[in-house]
Amino acid sequence: MTEFFQQVVSGLASGGVYGSLALALVLIHRATGVINFAQGEMAAFSTYIVWTLTTNHGWSYWPAFAATLVVSFAGGVGIHQVVIRPVERGSQIRVVIVTIGLLLLINGSMTWIWSGEVRSVKSPFPTRTVDIGGVAISLQDIGTIAVSLGTVILLWLFFRFTKVGLAMRASAVNPAEARLVGVRVAWMLGLGWGLAAVLGAIAGMLTAPSVFLDPTMMQAILIYAFAAAVLGGIDSPIGAVVGGLLLGVGLNLIGAYVDFVGADLRLPAALLVILVVLLLKPAGIFGKQHVRKV
Amino acid sequence: MRSSTARALGTFLLLSAAVYLLPAFVSDFRAQQFAYVGIYLTALIGLNVLTGYTGQISLGHGAFMAVGGYTAAILMADHGVKDIWTIPIAAALAGVAGFLFGIPALRLSGIYLALATFAIAVATPAVIKKFEGFTGGGSGINLFGIPELTASLTPVEIFGWELNFNNWLYYLSWTVALVGYVLAWLLLRGRTGRAFRAVRDSETAAVSSGVSLARYKTLAFGVSAAYAGAAGALFAIATTFVNPDTFPVALSIILLVGVAVGGLGSLVGLVAGAIFIQFLPLWAQNVSKSAGAPAVVYGAILILVMFVLPGGFAGLLARLGSLTTRGYHRPNDS
Amino acid sequence: MSALLELRDVEARYGPVQALRGISLEVPEGQIVAVLGANGAGKTTTLRAVSGTVRRTGEILFAGRPLRGSPEGVAKAGIAHVPEGRGTFTELSVLENLRLGAYTRRDRDVRGDIERMAEHFPWIQERGDQQAGTLSGGEQQMLALARALMGRPRLLMLDEPSLGLAPMIVREIFRIVRELNEKEGLTVLVVEQDARIALDTAGTAYVLEVGKVAVSGSSASLREDDAVRRSYLGY
């Protein structure tokens, strides 16, 4: 029974990471209908920035974290302005191919700048465990859950109660009408990319202490994030978070209790989730059904 | 004969002649490099059927190459099958795999399909490692020096010509590619090709004209996967070794890059794409010795091509000629 | 009275189709002006040309100054455009729609204005959190109107407010428009298919035909001219 709780807690922690990255994907998809294939690489790049600041420049963790968030935001907005805006108006596949190009570009840049060596990243949370009801729970996991949750709540407050948040939501659901009330929709899209980059950075920084930092670090996480977003509903922010948590806990439990899957087939299991959801209920748990009978 | 067919035939014959004469003029090392161009061309011909003609995007064709590559390797290493014969078997198996994937893929289109195929590409190395019994797990299968591999140790004699390994590989891969191209051309010019294009241009319209989406989408997947499988088998023969890292995610992406940059629909465009895939890492090394340089250059060029030439290299030619390439339709929206 | 809005020889096209072939019209400040005509005559395109939603050539002057092209800029200048089909943000709540209407305002009186809207449309306060898409057609039209007014515009442009609504509701909407014009001096440019109610409300009208102004004049004169009524207004 203790193992069960431990798996659930660590599943919630990894689920928090998947959910954060999934939220980034959903943010951009809601506004533009595009899946940003480069989201994982952008997140990894941000993680490298934190690593460089703390390791090579002696910054302490939380200031480096904050600075990286700012840089990531600027990077996200910049990427949108320079690379995405020129092709936004055309076919979506074209934009997706551009994001794939970005994936390659950013991935290669990380190897170029920092080499493919695997690095270890210190965790901001203490590595010991704490006893809760007789079960040893890692503080790292608790910290991860807290940060993910906190981020999601802050984001919710932003969208619900601020003028800019409202304008972004309006731009996502009805860009033409939003322009008529004076919203600069193009800037809102850029903002969306900036926020998504911040979410990705948080996901990356929460992940790095456990999986070690190398250029391919976020590739698998991206797949998990896709699975979470699809599971929750590709246009639903709540869905992204819930989907992430469900996926994290689900994969942990399946991995622990189904021998065949174990740790090796975790990724294919996520792939299966993607396929099954897309086939049975493409709108996901919280998504709206688009009728398309053909 | 119609003039466009005559032109196509002329281009094909000219290219074939150039291909068969090339090794006489270039070094052995270059011949090996161009052999790889032939291998990538084979894969691109198949991917073109799926993406250019049927409008389905795939970021997972590296996985089908892996099916073909591992099939060939296992047949050669464990079952004593001669390398040439592994190619059609690998193609057939990969084709079946593609066809089977095509069935669930019927429900997906556009970005969702890209997503699902991408996930396959990422998951493939893990699956390969899991089934160690067949695949040799992480250490892979070594084919170097085994007798099933033609010309690997001693030159082979064909029609009175003596060919060393690199030249043999060159002629083998280009023969497969050119035969493959002819087969594809025959497939595409008839009813099947028209049905594919109907699916690409508008699924709703296709169905109302009586084109069975199920049949043609799965067929397109199967055919393109078969080509990828053949290319994978050739790849295994060429590198004389397969392991999970032989067919990484990057390969799937780069195949798509080749199709996007080379452009869809014409042989010249596909050859351009294959050349691009093979030689880009080498050109990139001139920019920087870093291992990351090729990816950076691939990515940058892909982005630039999407900006400037959405039709790729062939699109540029088409603008000078008479063909047009259509964009993709928006995925499901009520 | 000077013209708040002036169009001079405005042309607009949708791809190969020429929708406006040189429209000139004036909307004097504090007046209600109607744009009438059959389907496809170019009425909606005229409003789109003003709000910058379609590309156009020719001059458009607002308060004497040339009007900038983008919809965001036009909104900022003080023109509220209620498009065909109302343009409510159906996924957002009633109150959120109203808050968006005030987007370009920097003052603090927004909440006060919401209360003032509730005077015209009492149900707004009660149903504030309801999703706009679940409102009836008439309520959505009123919400769209209220949203436009939240921006305290100098010019209100309405595109076919009667579309798809019951006659009683249409009358109510035009009554409110008239009231706003009389009490607060709001300038209105309304595009309508229902020529009768438009002429009852507006002071002057322009009748469009195939992208050009065919007839124009005071509503009274247009109403009294039998020939005009029969050929252009359909009654």
3 state SS of A269: helix
Does a structural domain hold residue A138? yes
| Assigned domain for C126 exists | no
Number of domains in chain A: 1
For B232-287, the pLDDT digits (tens) are 999 999 988 888 888 988 899 889 888 877 776 677 788 888 998 898 888 877 77
> What is the DSSP code (8-state) at residue A119?
B
Chains B and C touch each other (3 or more Cβ pairs < 8 A): no
β-bridge partners, C156: C80, C188
Cβ count within 10 A of residue A212:
12
Confidence at residue B95, expressed as pLDDT on a 0 to 100 scale: 95
Domain membership flag for residue A25? yes
Per DSSP, helices labelled H in A84-216 are 92-114, 139-161, 163-173, 175-180, 185-211
Evaluate whether C139 touches C166 at the Cβ level (below 8 Å).
no
Are A110 and A123 in contact, with CB atoms under 8 Å apart? no
Contacts of A286 (CB under 8 A, 6+ apart): A232, A233, A236, A238, A239, A242
Reported ipTM: the value is: 0.87
| A92-114 helix and B249-262 helix, angle to the nearest 10 degrees | 130
Closest to A79 (Cα-Cα) out of A28, A114, A155: A28
Find the helix or strand (DSSP H, E) in which B112 lies.
Answer: helix B110-130
Nearest to C22 by CA among C188, C187, C206: C206
What is d(CA A125, CA A121) in angstroms, rounded to the nearest whole number? 12
Residue C155 φ then ψ, to 5° = -130, 130
Print the domain residue range for A125: 17-226
Alpha-carbon distance of A71 to C82, in angstroms, equals 40
Residue C124 inside a domain? The answer is no
Q: How far is CA A279 from CA A103, A251, A270, B92, B108, in A?
A: 27, 20, 14, 26, 8
Q: What CATH number has the domain bearing residue C225?
A: 3.40.50.300
Mean pLDDT, rounded, of chain A: 88
Asked whether residue A282 is domain-assigned, the answer is no
- Chain B touched by A98 (CB under 8 Å): yes
Residue C229 included in any domain: yes
**CB atoms A177 and C92 under 8 Å:** no
Q: Give Cβ neighbours of residue B195 (< 8 Å, ≥ 6 apart).
A: B206, B211, B216
Query: Are the C-beta atoms of B229 and B91 separated by less than 8 Å?
Result: yes
Dump pLDDT digits (tens) for B58-85: 889 999 999 999 999 998 888 888 888 8
Tens place of pLDDT for every residue, chain A, 294 residues?
A: 778 888 899 899 999 999 999 999 999 988 888 889 999 999 999 999 999 999 889 888 899 999 999 999 999 999 999 999 888 877 777 788 899 999 999 999 999 999 888 888 878 888 888 887 777 888 888 999 999 999 999 999 999 899 999 999 999 888 889 999 999 998 999 999 999 999 999 999 999 888 888 888 898 899 999 999 999 988 889 999 999 999 999 999 888 888 777 777 888 888 888 878 877 887 888 877 654 444
Q: How far apart are CA C174 and CA C156, in angstroms?
A: 13
Nearest-by-Cβ selection for A183 from C72, C81, C96: C72
pLDDT for A116 equals 81
Q: Would you tell me how many other CB atoms lie within 10 Å of the CB of residue B163? A: 20
Residue B214 carries which side chain, given as an amino acid letter?
A
Contact A180/C90, CB-based, under 8 Å? no
* Residues of chain C positioned with their CB less than 8 A from the CB of A288: none
Quick check: is A203 in a domain? yes
Residue A66 lies in a domain: yes
Q: In this structure, is residue A118 part of a structural domain?
A: yes
The three-point CA angle A48-A242-A213 to 5° equals 15
- Does C22 reside within a domain? yes
Nearest-by-Cβ selection for A179 from C71, C96, C99: C71
**Would you say residue C116 lies in a domain?**
no
Query: For the ranges A116-130, B309-323, C77-91, which has the lowest average pLDDT?
Result: B309-323
Task: Say which of A166, A184, A185 has its CB closest to residue C100.
Answer: A166
Give the H or E element holding residue A132.
Answer: strand A129-132
- Please state which of the ranges B36-45, B144-153, C108-117 shows the lowest mean pLDDT: B144-153
**C185: containing domain:** 3-86+155-233
Contacting residues of A for B332, CB less than 8 Å apart: 282, 290, 292
B300:A270 CB<8 A: no
Q: Is C194 left (phi over 0), alpha (psi -120 to 50) or beta?
A: beta
E runs forming strands in chain C: 3-14, 17-28, 32-37, 56-62, 65-66, 79-82, 155-159, 187-191, 204-209, 212-218
Radius of gyration from C-alpha coordinates of chain C: 17
pLDDT digits (tens, 9 = 90+) for C26-44: 999 999 999 998 888 889 9
User: How far are the Cα atoms of A294, B7, B206, B332, C119 from residue B54, in angstroms, in the given order?
Assistant: 16, 24, 11, 16, 58
Cβ-defined contact of B112 to A282 (cutoff 8 Å): yes
